[in-house]
Structure formats: structure tokens, C-alpha cells
Amino acid sequence: QLVESGGGLVQPGGSLRLSCAASGFTFSTYWMGWVRQAPGKGLEWVANIKQDGGEKYYVDSVEGRFTISRDNAKNSLYLQMNSLGVEDTAVYYCARSQLLAYDVFNMWGQGTMVTVSS
Amino acid sequence: EIVLTQSPGTLSLSPGERAIFSCRASQSVRANHIAWYQQKPGQAPRPLMYGASIRVTGIPDRFSGSGSGTDFTLTISRLEPEDFAVYYCQQYGTSTTFGQGTKLEIK
């Protein structure tokens, strides 16, 4: 399973670090990603990271502000979010990619809410 | 970026009826890399299909997917009460993007 944490209320321009704890599968063998959903809106892919952390991909809107990382020894995925804006308000889901860098997400966490507001 | 347009926005049907969801891509999706998800309020998305027509393990066979190129369809042959939810398509042939969703509501 995947369990996210670290969400909360942050002021515009602030930073937040999300975590995702993985269990029940061999975390180090999967591409992992973050997908977000603004309140009442659809799904938006945010970032993906390769098994060894050597490749990372981001949606244009977060490039340069967000950093995805992982610690395979701790079975954990992270998302460091800087320069947050109100448009980043969303539920952030940690998700496991089936096989490829871009693939169906076949396992999802329950999500953690990030609210950017003054 | 490949834009996915789902239609209709809302589908109003009764249990036992057939539901057909459309997902149209702005350009051809490589290798028909299309997935479908179901999402209920307050829950994470649940994967249903991938590769346009392959059911995820454990998904009932009343769910089926088809299509190629730019036009894809998810069909639920006979609606059960638990099927009423929002459905999203995703393309993962070129980076990855999601459609805006179709809400399936009880008529």
C-alpha cells in the first residue's frame, strides 16, 4: 500500500515536503509518481521518478519549483514543493507506475491535501 | 501535449443499462497507451483498463475498452449500483495526461 503524509496549509510562496511510505511490494523496482487533483477538478500528473532516481520528469507547471525524490532503503517517495501558489492547492496522490516511465498507475495512496492560502 | 477530451460530461443512466464513455485524443496515441480509472467521492482513482482494452486484475468483465489512434471507448455492459462514479481516461504514449472526466449518475 501507499500512505501519503505531509500535507497542510501553507502561505503563497511557501514550501512543503510530501512523503509517501510504500509497503507490500518491492518499491525499488518500480517507477513512482505524484498525481494531484484540485478541489472539484480532474486529475493532473505532476512528476515521475525512475527506480534508481536517475531520471525524473515533471509537468511544465511545476518544473523548477517541485523536486521528486526517493529513498529505496526507506521505501519512501518524496515531493519537495517550493514557491507554492494558490493553483497548487490540491489532493496529492502517490502512485505506482505499472512498468514504464509513463504507464498506467496501478496502485494509489489515499492522498494528502495541500492548501495554499494566505 | 496530448489533450484528451471526454464526452459526455455527465451520463444519466439506470442500473442495468449500458454506459458508453468516449475519450478523444488531440493526436494519435502511441501503441494505444490508454488507461481508464473510476473514482468515487473521497476516494483515490481505481484503475480499470490499460492498453486500451486490457482489464486490470479483479475488474469485472462487464467493463470493456476499445479504440485506436485518437478515439477510445469504455463500455459498461450492465450497470450495477456501485458503478456510479466519475471515469477518467489517461494517455501514456507521450508523457502522460488525463481527460477531464465523465460523471456517471443515477437517472
Closest by CA position to A73, among listed A3, A5, A26: A26
Which residues of chain B lie closer than 8 angstroms to A106, CB-CB? 47, 50, 56
Per-residue pLDDT reduced to its tens digit, A73-84: 999 999 999 999
| B23-64 per-position pLDDT tens digit | 999 999 999 999 999 999 999 999 999 999 999 999 999 999
Average of per-residue pLDDT values in chain A: 97
For residue A6, pLDDT beyond 90: yes
CB–CB of B33 and A105 under 8 A? no
pLDDT digits (tens, 9 = 90+) for B71-97: 999 999 999 999 999 999 999 999 999
CB-defined contacts A:B, below 8 A: 53
Contact of B84 with chain A, judged by CB distance below 8 Å, is answered with no
User: What per-residue confidence (pLDDT) applies to A108?
Assistant: 98
> Which residues in chain B are contacts of A45 at CB distance < 8 A?
95-98
Set of chain B residues whose Cβ sits within 8 Å of the Cβ of A108: 44-46
Asked whether the beta carbons of residue A42 and residue B88 sit closer than 8 angstroms, the reply is yes
Q: B55 with B63: CB under 8 angstroms?
A: yes
Each residue's pLDDT tens digit, A42-77: 999 999 999 999 999 999 999 999 999 999 999 999
Give how far B14 is from chain A: nearest CA, Å.
Answer: 24
Per-residue pLDDT, averaged over A4-29, amounts to: 97
Are B77 and B65 within 8 A, CB to CB?
no
Neighbours of A60 (CB within 10 A): 8
Task: Indicate the SS3 state at residue A89.
Answer: coil
Backbone angles phi, psi at A112, to 5 degrees: -135, 135
B10 has a chain A CB within 8 A of its CB: no
- At A101, the pLDDT band (50, 70, 90 cuts) reads confident
pLDDT band at A30 (very low <50, low <70, confident <90, very high): very high
Find the CB nearest A102 among B56, B92, B101: B92
pLDDT of A38 above 90: yes
Residue B5, SS3? strand
